[in-house]
Structure 1
Amino acid sequence: MQSVTHVTPTARQLAYQDWEFGLFVHFGLRTFYEGYKDFDERPMTPNAFHPSGLDCEQWIRVASDAGMKYAVLTAKHHDGFSNWPSRYSEFTVAASPWKGGQGDVVREFVDACRKYGLKPGLYYSPYDGSAGFYSQDAKAYDDYFVNQITELLTGYGEIDILWFDGCGSEGHTYDWPRIIGEIRRLQPNILIFNMGDPNFRWVGNEDGIAPLPCWNVVDTTDFSIYTERQDRLDGQLWLPAECDVQLRSTWFYSDQNEHTAKSLDELMGLYYLSVGRGANLLLNVGPDREGRFPELDAERLQQMGAEISRRFGSPLGTLTECTVADRSWLYKPEQPMLIDHIVIGED
């Protein structure tokens, strides 16, 4: 007779699943190049980076008001521009005119998260378009990878999420045992997204929609939007899904697409198709070139938060008011009432 293995979550994974709703922030040098796309061949210079009104507190205050529990900032996107003054690159905020080269977006972001009680997360693209040795010297690039991650995980206190994006890494081999070993040594409680040794996974699309059903236990993860490749895991693992989606039609700010901002009805639909299917929802807003959320985007987030609270903030009944009989939960209200939502979850 074969024994049955029960795959269970860690306490950190359960906590993550309870956060449910988070903020994605795509911000960096690309913000200052209208229409710049992933792997765009147009050259960029740090001289263009100058968010004179940068206000990370505004970002996080809006997110907190919307009921979001965590936030993830692009510390480094595929272009390789570091939003902190990394000692291992010249393509960073330190080479920009912003604050005379003394600025640190990651610092201001993390401090804002702590002020407003959101869990801070950092997006780090393993692929780096600014590192000329990326494809020539895998060992040298692994050194660079570890050095930059070490800066992020030792300079800003506890970081809750490290978000790895597989785009651009198709076909590249990283020394994941070494990289993950350092990450776990530096911050044992951190949650890693989708690559290396993940604690939660990408849902497989950028539409904000989880499949039905959306199981927590899987044996593979999707790699990136640019390939059908799936990475096989070491057996079945508890890896809850996260749905990432844009508020507008681009991840980074554009002054050409305000009209594409999703309506409240669209956003609530995505909430039902992500959180409602057992996944987390990570909703992206791109700060403008001043370094603030556009007024429309901020207003839309607050409307969404208010609507979620209106629909789910005051339940008519809870499990504490139920009785258990015959393996069933029974709820008997004292008076007839109209019920239009029932929230059920796995024990």
Structure 2
Amino acid sequence: MLKKIVGLTVILLGVLQVSFAQQATLKEFMKMRFGMFIHWGPVTLRGTEIGWTRGGSVPKEEYDNLYKEFNPVLFNADEWVKTAKDAGMKYLTITARHHDGFCLWPSAYTEYDIMSTPYKRDIVGALATACKKQGIKFCIYYSVLDWYHPDYPIHGSNDQRIDSSANMSRYVQFMKDQLKELITKYDPYMLWFDGGWEKPWTEDMGRDMYAYLKRLKPSVIINNRLGKEIAAVENKQIDASKMIGDYDTPEQTVGRMNMEMPWESCFTICEQWSWKPNDKMKPLSQCLNILSRTAGGNGNLLLNVGPMPDGRIEARQIARLREIGDWLKVNGEAVYGTLGGPYAPGDIFTATRKGNRIFIHVLDASRSSLVLKNIPGRKVQKAALMNGTAVSVEQSADDIKLNLPGIKAGQVVVLEMNGPVEDIPVI
């Protein structure tokens, strides 16, 4: 009996150690605040949206044969990763396989992959190596659905009929084989799933896949799109207890403030996820506004770029990312490793905090002053912009008034308080 008790104790301690390790990794991930999303594949040869235009604006047969022309001879993994690093991004997520089923790595389980193209080089492997070299966390996007695969019952966004000859059991095993391949070969820090909303994919499949992946690599972070409970483009209020995954994923919208449940908003730097000629690009002010509001809501931002067919990221996108990086060189302390709050995000300003400092991110500079509610038991000892320029403060029993003549949107005011502010409830 004693041996059994000792054995059970050892198992329990092992489970607790794994759980603590997972929580530590997730906490580390949320401190990063800013990452690069990359949507890329043969579809860039047509300049249309990845996956979704298969069988739509691009006929299915034409779409499925684009890989025969895909030869991105100017792709340079080190340059892509340097672009992310110069932008102040801490992690990078590549679409190893999107809804169209094409694989950017040489897979033993399909010939519909990068080795069947004229290029014949491992894109995923090159990025994994470059990320490790430059200190960027490497992450992989993998679609739950696959409109190309014969065993997945739906074969296009424009054709939701169920194929009776498909076999979901075989398809799920195919997914497991490929995901084990990706984890074994590239050791991703995080897996970003998508597509779980379609009917053939069930909640039970999602739970089983999540458990399978955690057995393969307990520390791997997994988003919540293996299940149906996601904020997505509607920015829905979700029930975290029903979520299959480690964090929520609002899309093209800044997530709701949440101090308990981790989340990450994904946005495009232009309008389309994959490359489109002359696609309208977001101005710097909008990019910074999104980044500040995301951090202020206690979330991460995954900002997407779509490289061109030849393998280059557009020079204008690189320039915009470098501008964001220049802003972060000055204001990064107000983003990395912070918590949202203690003031709830608004249209005029948003706030982040760390230790005894509150960072006020100015979103609307049309006012010459800003009035904040007082924090019980706390007083402002010093106020200044991130560059050290002093800011005039008037503090009463009820309010903190910041005088901001000449302030610009995108600037950050640092309030040095007389005590820690991280445990203060959101005001």
Q: With structure 1 as the length reference, what TM-score do the two structures score?
A: 0.80
Measure, in 1, the Cα distance between the counterparts of 2:210 and 2:248: 16
Q: Paired residue for 2:130?
A: 112
Matched, 1:176 2:206: yes
Q: Which has the larger radius of gyration?
A: 2
Task: Check 1:278–1:88 CA distance in 2 against 1; reply closer, same or farther (3 A cut).
Answer: same
1:32-61, CA deviations, whole angstroms, 9 ceiling, x for partnerless residues? 222245332123222021101111211110
Contact 2:196–2:225 (CA under 8 A) maintained in structure 1? no
CA contact (8 A) 2:100 2:146 kept: yes
- For 1:1-347, what aligned pairs fall within 5 Å after superposition? 10-39=23-52, 40-41=54-55, 42=59, 43=61, 44-45=64-65, 46-98=67-119, 101=120, 103-135=121-153, 136-156=166-186, 158-166=187-195, 169-173=198-202, 175-196=205-226, 197-203=244-250, 205-207=251-253, 209-211=254-256, 214-217=257-260, 239-257=261-279, 260-313=280-333, 319=355, 328-333=377-382, 337-338=390-391, 341-342=413-414, 345=422
Matches of 2:196 and 2:308, distance apart in 1: 24
SS of equivalent residue, structure 1 residue 139: helix
Amino acid at match of 1:240: P
* Cα distance in 2 for residues equivalent to 1:79 and 1:264: 32
CA-CA distance at 1:89 after TM superposition: 1.1
Question: In structure 2, do the counterparts of structure 1 residues 262 and 337 end up closer, same or farther at CA, with 3 Å as the change threshold?
Answer: same
RMSD: 2.8
Q: Distance in 2 between matches of 1:126 and 1:12?
A: 24
Letter in 1 for 2:105: W
Aligned length: 305
Q: Mind listing any 5+ residue stretches in structure 1 that lack a counterpart?
A: 1-7, 218-238
Partners of 2:248 and 2:263 within 8 A in 1: yes
DSSP 3-state at the match of 1:201 = coil
The 1-side partners of 2:423 and 2:200 are apart by 37
Deviation for aligned residue 1:320 = 5.9
Deviation at 1:216, TM superposition (A): 4.1
Structure 2: which amino acid aligns with 1:210? G
CA distance in 2, matches of 1:84, 1:319: 43
1:232 corresponds in structure 2 to none
Note if contact 1:126-1:169 (Cα within 8 Å) is conserved in structure 2. Answer: no
Higher relative contact order (CA 8 A, sep 6+): 1
Could you say what secondary structure the match of 2:413 adopts?
coil
TM-score where L is the length of structure 2: 0.66
* Other structure's SS at 2:273 match: coil
Deviation at 1:278, TM superposition (A): 1.1
SS in 1 for 2:191: strand
CA distance in 2 between counterparts of 1:164 and 1:263 reads: 29
